[in-house]
Structure 1
Amino acid sequence: MQQPEYSDKEILRRLYDYTKPYISYWTMAIICMVIVSGLTSLQAYLIKPILDEIFIEKNEVYFAYLPWAIFVIFLLKGICQFFYEYYLNRIGQSMVRDLRQEIFEQIIRQSLSFFHRHATGELMSRIFTDVALIQEAISTAAVGLIKNVLQIVGLVGMIFYLDWRLALFCSGFLAISFLPMVIFGRIQRRLTTRLQRNMGRLSTATHESLTGNLIIQAFNAERFEIGRFSDVLKDVFRNTIAGVKAKSLSSSTVELISGIGIIAIIVYGGGRVMAGESSTGTFFAFLTALLMTYQPIKGLTQINNAMQQGIAAANRVFWMRDHQPEIQNKPHAEILPAFTREIRFDNVRFQYPGGRRTVLQDVTLTIRKGQTVALVGHSGSGKTTLANLLPRFIEAEAGGITIDGMDIRAVTLSSLREQIAVVTQDTVLFNGTVRNNIAYGQPDSPPEKIIDAARRANALAFIEALPDGFDTAIGQSGVRLSGGQRQRLAVARAFMKGAPILILDEATSSLDTVSERAVQDAIDHLMEGRTVLIIAHRLTTIERADVIVVLSEGRIVETGTHAQLLAREDSEYRQLYKLQHTLSDD
């Protein structure tokens, strides 16, 4: 999907919108910054009376009170500087928190098709790396931008007050010093966009290598993965160095322009002092104010680089923020009543976005309440896709799916999915405790209900044998448990939900005989009294199904019971059944 480009004005307006809830902090910060700017200008001005009144005129009154005035100025400036930095950084951190929350909420609601199109590492890069660059632009750059602009305005005003002729002479150099910011800023943005794209690739490579480490070691592919990671890392390094070069050139150019300007001012201003047209104190106060102006101008150059990086990152983040889920509630969606009669697929057609092959076509199927229906077919026949259509993980292109006569697209997603439990072949567990995984989505469930779900899933015995029982941490994806234990926790989670409809992706094919028996017994208990849609991989496990649906190339080619389908000489199910038995006998 092509990512849109947002204008700078649009990006800045949207970032500003995130600051509106914190207007009180903005007000306090700006007041403090104005005070700091004024005191900074006053510091430069004090050079004039120090030289003229104390060192040249030997004025004792100035000598007695001026040091105290300087102390008070520095004290007030320090206090105000603390508060404006605190308030502005609090605004920036609050905005980043809000933005990260919104991006995560947007990603988590996307359809399965979205996650098929976007790598996990790329999405993680949007949430962390890109938002971190926005945070840098807001918390550091925006803070410095306002501060430096106010200081420049105050100091330039002081320069014109002290000697307007000399100020006009040096204004040309001040204007020229802003040119590097514009030129190198554009270069920095292009480099940042390229860098963030490569950071997404790096996150993807890292995620795949860490999650697939077992396969990597099994295939002796460590060297290959190290090379793949190294190639992406080299691209990141080249982009980063190019950015550093642009940033350094920008600062160096400003430094050179400033140096030339100061030389010209010393020559011109010194000539006016020697001609008696200006006092020594006025000239040095002017020069001090000018040198103090140099620092915020140089700071603007660095800030501009950070701002360009932040804008480039914001472009990617706002695309993600604006990417609406393909599957969401329709206006005036209704609550789906409790399931009582039947589920119907009516001439359903589906093709994955960008895919060339139609995965499902003209699928019509009725599942009555309490029935167990098994989906059978070769790999790629559309079994999992058909099951994923029911909870609207993906959306049918044509045809319709109804529950008790209600189109599932006309009901709320939450009420639809509330009535469906899913047990997948690849068990998904979260990095937490046994208790949290069983009660997933129901954190306030009473302990008795959790224990009962574990007992019914044949999981209570092994849970109680764990070091901390239900409070044992199971690690990422449940790595501290065996395959059979993980699958029984998934069954217990389905028991906890208590949904009347169960989608079961056969989950026992990779287990040893003892574990398979325990898991299958738990699944048999889970199926009791429920309407079950089984994605079958081994035909021996679905012989007791009420209806077996055979899929081939996205079409239903036959339906019936196990006995009925085996009795047909030309049955595709019979051929599949014989093939599996032949392979198992071998």
Structure 2
Amino acid sequence: MDYFKKILRFVKPYKRFAYLNIFFNILYALFSALSFVALIPMLQVLFDKEKQVHTKPIYENYESLKEFIGDSFNYQVTIFAEDNKMQALVISIGLILALFLLKNLFNYLAMFFITFLRNGVLKDIRNSMYDKIVELPIGYFSEKKKGDVIARITSDVLEIQHSFLSILELIIREPLTILFTIITMLFISAKLTLFVFIFIPITGIIISSIGKSLKKQSDKVQKEQGEFLSITEETLGGLKVIKAFNAENTFLKKFQGSTSRFFKFSNSLLNRQNLASPTSEFLGILVIGILLWFGGKMVLVDESLDATEFLAYMGLAYNILTPAKAISKASYGVKKGNAAAERVLEILETENTIADKTDALAKTNFEKEVILKDISFKYEDDLVLEDFNLKVPKGHTVALVGQSGSGKSTIANLVTRFYDVNKGSITIDGVDIKDLKKDSLRGLLAIVTQDSILFNDTVKSNIALGTPNATDEEIIEAAKIANAHEFIKDLPDGYNTNIGDSGNKLSGGQKQRLSIARAVLKNPPIMILDEATSALDTESERLVQDALENMMKNRTSIVIAHRLSTIQNADTIVVMQKGKIIEQGKHDELLKANATYKKLVDMQSLA
């Protein structure tokens, strides 16, 4: 129930709907009991002459409230029956129909208002999860499968709606229906009702024992659903490679293995869940059968209970079965919902390790330099950078070169604060980036990566991603600087052309130039280029390189380079190896030094 309490905080904005639901559920429960009680005076007067009352009852003449109320009903029906029995019958039936109509009307109104609560909570949980997903650091998702995260925000949240939020509906209506019905049953026969209470705990224990393993089974189902969603996501993302390497059968076997486990876990879960309804119904009918025996004995042998009262009593007893079944199914729902809520809350309650300080500063300009001082960093166990120092003065282009795994891209991740350093500091104009607001820091930066990350939207929307208020003229100017305008205007709808999932309707060079246009439009003082041309052909590289040079004019740039020909004009070239700087200087100086940098240049020249 701990998870249930935590989910309840999402109910607060919709509490007015909860109050209306409670109000109409109380009326439903009350009229549910009254609709059966109304049968008693009609049956007594119409079919039992001895029960007719011709004198208006006076409360002082009665020893019990039950007898007074009974005779008062009988008196009213007797008056009608004396003149016209059929009229009395019609009025009695009309009263019963009216009570049942009101009961069902109140039931509808209760469900009408709870709908707004259930769907509102569903919306707010999903919004909170999405907000948390985009807030959490990139490092968190390196350990999570995308499909599992998608499963949590879709099916797990839906399971919470179906299970936990159904409880909100049942928690008032069904217990109250049982309560009012039992009070009425006690009013008719306390002895018979106490007899019923002997069997209720027994049935409760049996039903409870069935549902103990449901949470465990439900957790397995939801985890496996995340697994096959992950396989699907990986398949769609790597379809070209899968086909090229004839790996369709390999991935099919992985997917079939996951769905087979899902099939097995789902069968086990649903079979236990489906056992709830027939078990509770059979136990209820068993109680009804025992009541028929015990109550029949009271009517026929002891004569301590009137036959018409017993008939109404049996109707009331059967009236308990439906809410009792609903409560037993709801208890299974809580166990299933617990597993789903645990997975949802795991994300919602994850602490963001890269969060703004309470007194974080907002910095809007860049004046002097970026300094990386004595920084050390590791993703897991091994250090990627160790006691690393670098100074990037304003207006300078600093290029980082070296073999794969030397820590070049890690510098980009740390300066943008996608990760925090384990030791040392990174400062901008003397202010540690940990003391800056993240949106303020990233407002000073723009990054162009090797993999062009574009979205299934128009060219215009992709370029204006970080600058939503940009005018069409500004977008076109940014595209011209990025050497993208010429190919964009030739697209079917120009800047309003949808470029498909991940921009797959465009070539690699075109996608990269759109990424550069996006960075140009943002117009930040600091540019980070992470191997922005390494995946391009020669012609595309030339166009992209020209675009990069246009973009870097009068800006501070950190360039992570794979192709050394692109960084010959850099103010400083830093050669890295295993997380440390082994050489530093201009292109010509490093060639003269005849060390690692020259070897790298010679290797690429030969290639």
Tell me the TM-score range normalised by the shorter chain.
over 0.9
The match for 2:475 among 450, 453, 459 is: 450
Is 2:500 the counterpart of 1:470? no
Aligned to 1:162: 188
- Cα distance in 2, alignment partners of residues 487 and 300 from structure 1: 58
Aligned to 2:13: 21
Counterpart code for 1:388: N
Is 2:214 the counterpart of 1:188? yes
How big is the shift at 1:552? 0.7
Cα distance change, pair 47–485 in 1 and its aligned pair in 2 (3 A): same
3-state SS of 1:344 partner: strand
3-state SS of 2:212 partner: helix
3-state SS of 1:534 partner: strand
- Is the contact between residue 350 and residue 359 of structure 1 (CA under 8 Å) also seen in structure 2? yes
Q: Which has the larger radius of gyration?
A: 2
Aligned to 1:153: 179
How big is the shift at 1:156? 1.5
Aligned to 1:334: 361
Q: Deviations over 1:538-558 (max 9, x none)?
A: 112111111111111111111
TM score, norm. by length of structure 2: 0.91
Is 2:329 the counterpart of 1:302? yes
3-state SS of 2:142 partner: helix
How big is the shift at 1:35? 0.4
Aligned to 1:218: 244
- Is the contact between residue 502 and residue 532 of structure 1 (CA under 8 Å) also seen in structure 2? yes
Aligned to 1:344: 371
Is 2:345 the counterpart of 1:321? no
How big is the shift at 1:12? 2.7
Aligned to 2:402: 377
How big is the shift at 1:56? 4.2
- Cα distance in 2, alignment partners of residues 103 and 74 from structure 1: 43
How big is the shift at 1:372? 0.9
Counterpart code for 2:20: M
3-state SS of 1:177 partner: helix
112-121 or 374-383: bigger deviation: 112-121
1:407-422 residue pairs with structure 2 within 5 A? 407-422=432-447
- Cα distance in 2, alignment partners of residues 75 and 455 from structure 1: 71
Q: Deviations over 1:455-511 (max 9, x none)?
A: 211111221111211111111111111111111110110011000100001222332
Counterpart code for 1:305: Y
- Cα distance in 2, alignment partners of residues 563 and 133 from structure 1: 65
- Is the contact between residue 181 and residue 304 of structure 1 (CA under 8 Å) also seen in structure 2? no
- Cα distance in 2, alignment partners of residues 181 and 572 from structure 1: 75
Aligned to 2:570: 545
Aligned to 2:65: none
Aligned to 1:4: none
Counterpart code for 2:39: I
Aligned to 1:512: 537
1:256-335 residue pairs with structure 2 within 5 A? 256-275=282-301, 276-335=303-362
The match for 1:242 among 256, 262, 268 is: 268
How big is the shift at 1:122? 1.6
Aligned to 1:52: 44
Aligned to 2:448: 423
How big is the shift at 1:138? 3.8
3-state SS of 2:177 partner: helix
How big is the shift at 1:50? 3.7
Q: Deviations over 1:223-256 (max 9, x none)?
A: 1101101111111111111111211233333233
3-state SS of 1:445 partner: coil
- Is the contact between residue 164 and residue 333 of structure 2 (CA under 8 Å) also seen in structure 1? no
How big is the shift at 1:139? 3.8
Q: Deviations over 1:413-466 (max 9, x none)?
A: 111110100001000011111111110032222111111111211111221111
3-state SS of 1:436 partner: helix
- Cα distance in 2, alignment partners of residues 374 and 53 from structure 1: 101
How big is the shift at 1:373? 0.9
3-state SS of 1:117 partner: coil
46-55 or 94-103: bigger deviation: 46-55
The match for 2:583 among 554, 558, 576 is: 558
How big is the shift at 1:170? 1.6
- Cα distance in 1, alignment partners of residues 555 and 48 from structure 2: 99
Is 2:5 the counterpart of 1:34? no
- Is the contact between residue 53 and residue 62 of structure 1 (CA under 8 Å) also seen in structure 2? no
- Cα distance in 2, alignment partners of residues 132 and 341 from structure 1: 52
* Unmatched tracts of structure 2, length 5 or more: 50-77
Counterpart code for 1:213: L
How big is the shift at 1:23? 2.2
Aligned to 1:12: 4
- Is the contact between residue 196 and residue 287 of structure 2 (CA under 8 Å) also seen in structure 1? yes
Cα distance change, pair 286–245 in 1 and its aligned pair in 2 (3 A): same
- Cα distance in 2, alignment partners of residues 208 and 142 from structure 1: 38
1:486-497 residue pairs with structure 2 within 5 A? 486-497=511-522
How big is the shift at 1:179? 1.9
Measured on the aligned residues, the alpha-carbon RMSD in Å equals: 1.6
* Unmatched tracts of structure 1, length 5 or more: 1-7
Aligned to 2:62: none
Aligned to 1:568: 593
- Cα distance in 1, alignment partners of residues 509 and 191 from structure 2: 86
- Cα distance in 2, alignment partners of residues 441 and 75 from structure 1: 58
How big is the shift at 1:207? 0.9
The match for 1:73 among 70, 74, 99 is: 99
- Cα distance in 2, alignment partners of residues 253 and 45 from structure 1: 28
- Is the contact between residue 362 and residue 437 of structure 2 (CA under 8 Å) also seen in structure 1? yes
Aligned to 2:602: 578
Q: Percent identity?
A: 34
- Is the contact between residue 89 and residue 140 of structure 1 (CA under 8 Å) also seen in structure 2? no
- Cα distance in 1, alignment partners of residues 351 and 600 from structure 2: 42
How big is the shift at 1:158? 1.7
1:89-108 residue pairs with structure 2 within 5 A? 89-108=115-134
- Is the contact between residue 38 and residue 95 of structure 2 (CA under 8 Å) also seen in structure 1? no
- Is the contact between residue 456 and residue 525 of structure 1 (CA under 8 Å) also seen in structure 2? yes
Is 2:111 the counterpart of 1:85? yes
Q: Deviations over 1:276-300 (max 9, x none)?
A: 3222211111111111111111111
How big is the shift at 1:356? 2.2
31-40 or 161-170: bigger deviation: 161-170
Counterpart code for 2:246: N
Aligned to 2:72: none
Aligned to 1:3: none
TM score, norm. by length of structure 1: 0.94
Counterpart code for 1:393: F
- Cα distance in 1, alignment partners of residues 435 and 162 from structure 2: 44
Counterpart code for 1:39: F
